[in-house]
Amino acid sequence: MTAHDRAGYEPAFRPLPLSEAASGLIAREKACGANNYDPLPVVLSRGAGSWLADIDGRRYLDLMSAYSAVSFGHAHPRIVAALVAQAQRLGVTSRAYHNDALPALLERLARLTRLDRVLPANGGAEAVETALKAARKWGHKVKGIPDGRAEIIACDGNFHGRTIAVIGLSTEPQYRDGFGPFPPGLSTIPYGDADALARAITPRTAAFLVEPIQGEGGIVVPPEGYLARCAEICREHRVLLICDEIQTGLGRTGRFLASEHDGVRPDAVILGKALGGGLLPVSALVGSNDLMQVFHPGDHGSTFGGNPLAAAVAIAALDVLEDEKLVARSAELGAWLLEELQDLRSPIVRDVRGRGLFVGIEVDARYIGARPVVDRLLARGILSKDTHGTVVRIAPPLNIAREDLAWAVGQIRATFREIERDLKRAA
């Protein structure tokens, strides 16, 4: 059997059998839930640190961290304690009133990002929408772009969420199929090509929205200096540089922000996922005074954004990040992980790339897709996820034990050897 013959071929493999209880829960979810996800066949019920357990007591090492939302591990005692203490005192008031928890979070995020003002929200997609609104209004009111003519540029392969505006910027056909019409003034350019940005900017361009490393795009790391050059181009043309750090922020890539690898301070940063400490949806748009001045009372709001419970949890998450020195740990452990995985030496692995504890293993689709690899890892007690059909993402909690990560590397090696053997038998 040639490589061409094996395209899309899945070697013989038997996943772990599901118990009657697990099968029943999955069936109930499918019967009443919208069919917008295709989860791995496991029903999780408990988690502590980097480990999860299913309803039958089988344990799994988490190498996904809920797309970086669980960067500090499951049920971190300090973050849980902060949640409980605040919930017992004051949970939600809406922003119709001040609360005594929010100011500390706003000050902390402004200091850590070296920016000026913070607009708190809930999920990452909401924060991205907030950024798009801010950029458009800045373009109209500050830069002088004619009303209704502001343009925003993003990159091919981006993932900024799935709202109507954002999928208008997406280049993934499935994300757009059937959801139009999309807002005008949205365009994309090749990722990693700063010259393409310079060519795309017009007098009506308000902002360039970019991920310092593309996550859902396949853990795509741009050329060195790319973001710094983009920042220069944006300054030259008076265009806002907005970095989506929802997945890459808070230490994931070995810096507090991934944009720091290029020494860049954007006009705005979008944070989310890890900011909620693995317990709550918490996000924020953090920006310069120049950008954030466009907001006035009534322009924008969020009932739950900036609630006391979310603020307390986010502060505890930031405390853990700093006190446990997890940024440095991500850099050190991530460099080791990348070196180990780049040594896989498997003919079905096309590339291993990443920064910090944010790594993608790209498989050769002529032999096998990424989802079958992920299924095999699940059977070995490892939780991961495929992206774009060809990349296995590895993004464990930043405080994962080194010995646990070393065990996972061994299981990954064994999985690829197993697939190679099955392919040879089938040839």
Catalytic residue positions?
159, 244, 273
The Cα 162–Cα 423 span in angstroms is 37
If you ran DSSP here, which 8-state letter would residue 214 be given?
A: B
Q: Is 172 exposed, middle or buried (0-12, 13-18, 19+ CB in 10 A)?
A: middle
CB 219 within 8 A of CB 360: yes
Give the helix/strand (H/E) hosting 221. Answer: none
Q: 219: left (phi > 0), else alpha (psi -120 to 50), else beta?
A: left
CA–CA distance, 416 with 427 (Å, rounded to integer): 16
Residue with tokens 């061409």: 4
CB 150 within 8 A of CB 204: yes
Query: Can you tell me the distance from the alpha carbon of 154 to that of 106, in angstroms, rounded to the nearest whole number?
Result: 27
3-class DSSP assignment, residue 266:
coil
Q: What is the side-by-side strand order in the sheet with 283-287?
A: 117-121, 283-287, 268-271, 240-244, 205-210, 151-155, 186-189
Q: Which residues pair with 52 in a beta bridge?
A: 47, 60
Separation between Cα atoms, residue 39 and residue 312, nearest integer Å: 31
CA 75 to chain centre: 20
Burial 20-43 (b: 16+ CB within 10 A, else e): eebeeeeeeeeeeeeeeeeebbbb
